[in-house]
Amino acid sequence: MTRILFIFLFVAGAAYAATPIKDAKLTGQTEISGTLTVPEGTTVNGLARAPKFAIFTLPLGANFTDFELKATVSNFGGHSPFTDLYLYYHSPDPARVAVSGQTGPKPTVFFTDSGWTDRRRWRRQSTTESIYAMRSSTGATIAAAIVVVPVDVTIRPDNPNLVWSYQRISGGSYENIWTPIVPTWSLVKPTP
């Protein structure tokens, strides 16, 4: 009798385990493997989609029009030679032809211009000109730049080793003050 009961429970348990569970909620130390594919915009049991962009707001202000943005995976290295620079973007050289060492994914850069027709409008930096060259006049103030960097295997919100800094540039003169900054992570790329 015990053997029959054991066989019945084993078969019933196996059948129950193969049955899909609708709206399952996971708790505790559960590990899941496999691939889940859902249409864009779908939320699965409250799980958030992975961000696709790191977005930075860089205050520039009265005298500054351009910037350098750098990211490293070793807090700018405690060793020599320093080889851990992952992203280096020099906004006066967006084509990456004049300044050597620029590396990593190319960001998309937007800025506001106090002399532009609509001062609120976000202007997109061209792929060949500095913000300094694009400003509406020599008296224009570039209040801020919005820098949009695509996520990749290194640039991602769960990388604890990624450290970001920027410095401002005014007509070729460097501020020489590196400011630490952290990104805001976004699912979508701004497209003004």
pLDDT tens-place string over residues 142-189: 999 999 999 999 999 999 999 999 999 998 899 999 999 999 999 999
Confidence of residue 75 (pLDDT cuts 50, 70, 90): confident
Q: Which residue has the higher pLDDT, 53 or 16?
A: 53
pLDDT score for 192: 82
- Confidence bin at 54 (pLDDT 50/70/90): very high
Residue linked to tokens 């569970």 = 21
The reply to whether 4 falls in a domain is no
Q: What is the pLDDT of residue 26?
A: 56
Query: Is residue 41 assigned to a domain?
Result: no
Contacts with 21 (C-beta within 8 Å, 6 or more apart), sequence order = none
Q: Which one has a higher pLDDT value, 61 or 7? A: 61
Q: What is the pLDDT of residue 76?
A: 83
CA gap 157, 146 in Å, rounded? 18
Residue pointed to by tokens 């006066």: 92
Q: What pLDDT, on a 0 to 100 scale, did the predictor assign at position 77?
A: 80
Q: Residues 48-52: what's their mean pLDDT?
A: 85
pTM of the model: 0.74
pLDDT over 90 (residue 81): no
Residue 78 lies in domain: 53-186
The answer as to whether 30 is a domain residue is no
Rounded CA gap, 88 and 178, in Å?
13
* 85 or 20, greater pLDDT: 85
- Answer yes or no: is 111 within a domain: yes
pLDDT of residue 44: 65
The whole-angstrom separation of Cα 139 and Cα 75 is 37
Domain count within the chain: 1
- Give the strand pairing for 108-111 and 123-124: antiparallel
In a domain, 77, yes or no: yes
> Does residue 137 lie within any of the structural domains?
yes
Is 108 within the bounds of a domain? Answer: yes
Longest dimension (CA), the chain: 95
Q: What is the pLDDT, as a whole number, of residue 15?
A: 53
- Whether 39 is covered by a domain: the verdict is no
Q: Count Cβ atoms within 10 A of the Cβ of residue 173 and give its class: 0-12 exposed, 13-18 middle, 19 or more buried.
A: exposed
The full 3-state SS of the chain, as one line of letters, equals: CHHHHHHHHHHHHHHHHCCCCCCCCCCCCCCCCCCCCCCCCCCECCECCCCCEEEEEEEEECCCCEEEEEEECCCCCCCCCCCCEEEEEECCCCCCCCCCCCECCCCEEEECCCCCCCCCCCEECCCCCCHHHHCCCCCCCEEEEEEEEECCCCCCCCCCCCEEEEEEEECCEECCCCEECCCEEECCCCCC
